[in-house]
Amino acid sequence: MAPAFDVNSLEFKLPDLGEGLTEAEIVRWLVQVGDVVAVDQPVVEVETAKAMVEVPCPYGGVVTARFGEEGTELPVGSPLLTVAVGAPAETRAPEEPAERALQAAEESSGNVLVGYGTGAAPARRRRVRPTRAASPAPAAASVGRGPQRPPTRGDGPVPVISPLVRKLAREHGVELRALTGSGPDGLIMRADVEAAIEAVARAASAAAAGVAAEVREGVALKAAVHEADEPIRADRAAARRQVEAGQEPTRAGAETRHPLTGIRGLVADKMARSRREIPEATCWVDADATELLAVRAAMNGATNTAKNSATNTAVSGRTAERDGQKVSLLALFARITVAALDRFPELNSSVDMEAREVRRFADVHLGFAAQTDRGLVVPVVRHAQARTTASINAELIRLTEAGRSGTLTPGELTGGTFTLNNYGVFGVDGSTPIINHPEAAMLGVGRIVPKPWVHQGELAVRHVVQLSLTFDHRVCDGGTAGGFLRYVADCVEQPAVLLRSV
């Protein structure tokens, strides 16, 4: 007699893919109704306000329904698809700690991925479970409340409920069964996987070589903007012809409306919130960057020597590639910023008004503003205080290329504690930027241009840069902000000053 099967249809909801995200747009379905999918198989590609993400399904089975066509924008927590799964009713495994954690996570925020998402308290409701065959009493007792013990690995389910955590482990070759989770009931969190990755390779990863080609989403965005503005161009051309004919133009042109969605909507929300909540102030200083440019030229002049020596020694390929890259000015400013934050840690903080506290961070997670085809993004160089200049430079290159190609992950775009803004690339001298909420400060760097400058008592042409610091006046007074900016300027003018702190 064939065994009886308990078939359930599980609904997979759009998970919370990152801090502050409330919706995502379906770009491309990767499965069709009727397809058989495996656990953690990517089923849909979505575009959020921060990144393009392939969403893996935590269930294995047959796809029975899809919700939403390509181009549809869905809110977080809404159904993506349903999967029919089945197992012999007599052999249903007892509820694992990971399943209990999954229930708590879904009650918390409607299918939140561990390592991203919210931390709201669980709502007072129970999840409706499908009817299952009765289990023997000893098996039921095994899942009752009692002393919390680390989950048994063996061949049972691995206690991890986040598809992105599984994907991160798979991409880096981390064996999840070998990890002990730090979450409830031994649940494996994103931080556990990242710690395992850092344990086997603590050195910073080298950036990919070459400049990324213009990507599909960038081309599509430009085409969409061009198409939306086409009526305006046509009306302007008609108006010019009327003026040339001596007639009064009947209309100046039609208006077009562009929805504040995706990354543009996220930027708008964050900027407005920053202006509402943060009492910011800005101070400026001009600095002679001639010596800094000379130091950079000397460092990059040694690049070929480093490459040649790496081929004749036992230096690893990753280290040789990192050390052989040319150091950018942004990397030098980043290194100076980290040293300044070590002297003035008040600026590496954020304000919690509900607790009426200033949270001062030990780690410097340095964000840097980058303009891409999809808009402004702020990738984060994590643990910048522990990196060398070469390591910071390699990470800046890697994150910049990922931003251009639209492959930045939510984890690479969140968690910053201080932001460096190089608006000099736009050919402007100064700016009063809006602080990247909830951070407490932002250092701005203008363009470096030759100017008359008094150097060693004589008038000379020097390369001058304007530096600005916008800071939250709740975390410090002007003396601290001025001291920070003055130290940065001193390091720019005399890079040897930086050697005292490295």
Name the residues annotated as catalytic: 473
18: how many CB neighbours lie within 10 A of its CB? 25
Gap between the Cα atoms of 360 and 384, Å rounded? 16
Angle at 296 between CA 295 and CA 302, to 5 degrees: 95
Enumerate the β-bridge partners of residue 16. 112
In terms of residues, how long is the chain?
A: 502
Assess contact for 378 and 365: CB atoms under 8 A: no
Percent helix, strand and coil across the chain, each rounded to 5? 40, 25, 40
Alpha carbon of residue 381 to chain centroid: 10
Exposure of 18 in the CB half-sphere (CA atoms within 13 A):
23
H-helix or E-strand spanning residue 458? strand 458-472
Residue 351, φ and ψ in degrees, nearest 5 = -110, 130
Gap between the Cα atoms of 263 and 18, Å rounded? 13
- What is the gyration radius of the CA atoms in the chain, in angstroms? 27
251: how many CB neighbours lie within 10 A of its CB? 9
Residue 5, φ and ψ in degrees, nearest 5 = -115, 140
**From residue 500, how far is each of 44, 440, 446 by CA, in Å?**
51, 26, 26
325: how many CB neighbours lie within 10 A of its CB? 20
| Amino acid identity, position 420 | L
User: Which residues are within 8 A (CB) of 220 and not within 5 positions of it... i.e. 6 or more apart?
Assistant: none
159: how many CB neighbours lie within 10 A of its CB? 27
User: Which residues are within 8 A (CB) of 432 and not within 5 positions of it... i.e. 6 or more apart?
Assistant: 282, 468, 470
Q: Are strands 349-352 and 357-360 parallel, antiparallel or unpaired?
A: antiparallel
Q: Are strands 36-37 and 52-57 parallel, antiparallel or unpaired?
A: unpaired
Closest CA to 102 of 36, 174, 187, 173: 187
* Per-position DSSP letters for 124-167, written without gaps between them: S--PPPPP-PPPPHHHHHHTSS----PPP-TTS--S---HHHHH
User: Which residues are within 8 A (CB) of 377 and not within 5 positions of it... i.e. 6 or more apart?
Assistant: 50, 263, 369, 370, 403, 408, 413
13: how many CB neighbours lie within 10 A of its CB? 18
Question: Is 245 strand, coil or helix?
Answer: coil
